């Protein structure tokens, strides 16, 4: 008798965010996560912060959080990672969004995800191949200028990882998108450091099978 090995597709993934970052699930538990982050931010206000201004600060934080969450959800986000604690006195102007899996038809009937990656690489500027937990993925990086007409309020550096889910039927893919706002006159090496931070985070990526 010939046995056929049926490999299991991952049920999810694990990603370790940097210290001082929080995770906001965008499917279930979004409000609870937002409330927790706002409470923590209010608790971290400086000792001399006027008590009468705390409700205004809480309301402003909540509004900003909702705006970021809506933007991530509108782009198909599944999980949002945000820096919520200052680093050397600065809250990093960055975010990471893990998007819902998407299905992409095969390039040819007998081809696999590698053919899809090759096709995307041929039309995507600045793309390179990286390995994540044993799976070949595409990484791209670009600076996006601010353009209000296109809904981009502020220029930002964007890095994306496009990852095929192994043994998924039909073929499905995950996208991890890092975005850092670029302030006018800012120091380019600072954003290079943020990109290195994101690459280090993606280095912690592992598939979850249970």
**Cα three-residue angle 201-160-14, rounded to 5 degrees:** 40
The b/e string for 128-146 (b: 16+ C-beta within 10 A; e otherwise) is eebebeeeebbbbbeeeee
CA 126 to chain CA centroid, Å, is 19
CA 172, 197, 33, 52 dihedral sign is: negative
- Could you tell me the residue ranges of all domains in the chain? 26-74, 81-202
Total-model pTM: 0.87
Res 59: pLDDT: 94
**Cα separation, 111 vs 115, whole angstroms:** 6
pLDDT in tens, the chain (210 residues): 333 344 788 999 999 999 999 999 999 999 999 999 999 888 888 888 899 999 999 999 999 889 999 989 998 999 999 998 877 767 788 999 999 999 998 888 888 899 999 999 999 888 999 999 999 999 999 988 876 554 556 788 899 999 999 999 889 999 999 999 887 777 778 889 999 999 999 999 999 997
Q: Please choose, from the candidates 65, 56, 55, 73, the residue with its C-alpha nearest in 3D space to the C-alpha of residue 35.
A: 65
- Residues 197 and 168: beta-carbon distance below 8 Å: no
CB atoms < 10 A from the CB of 104, how many? 15
**Cα separation, 70 vs 161, whole angstroms:** 21
**Cα separation, 172 vs 74, whole angstroms:** 20
**Cα three-residue angle 101-137-12, rounded to 5 degrees:** 40
Q: Please choose, from the candidates 184, 197, 194, 126, the residue with its C-alpha nearest in 3D space to the C-alpha of residue 157.
A: 194
């Amino acid at each position: 008798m010939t046995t056929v090995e049926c490999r299991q597709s991952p049920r999810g993934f694990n990603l370790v965010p940097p210290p001082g970052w929080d995770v906001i699930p965008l499917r279930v538990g979004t409000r609870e996560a937002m409330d927790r982050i706002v409470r923590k931010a209010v608790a971290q206000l400086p000792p001399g912060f006027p008590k009468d201004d705390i409700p205004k600060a809480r309301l402003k934080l909540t509004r900003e959080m909702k705006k970021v969450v809506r933007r991530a959800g509108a782009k198909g986000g599944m999980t949002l990672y945000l820096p919520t604690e200052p680093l050397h006195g600065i809250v990093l102007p960055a975010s990471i969004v893990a998007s819902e899996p998407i299905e992409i038809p095969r390039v040819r009937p007998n081809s696999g995800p590698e053919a899809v990656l090759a096709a995307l690489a041929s039309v995507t500027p600045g793309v390179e191949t990286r390995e994540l937990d044993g799976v070949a993925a595409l990484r791209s990086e670009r600076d996006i200028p601010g353009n209000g007409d296109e809904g981009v309020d502020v220029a930002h550096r964007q890095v994306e990882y496009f990852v095929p889910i192994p043994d998924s039927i039909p073929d499905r893919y995950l996208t991890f998108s890092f975005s850092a706002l670029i302030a006018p006159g800012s120091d380019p090496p600072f954003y290079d450091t943020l990109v290195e931070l994101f690459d280090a985070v993606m280095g912690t990526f592992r598939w979850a099978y249970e």
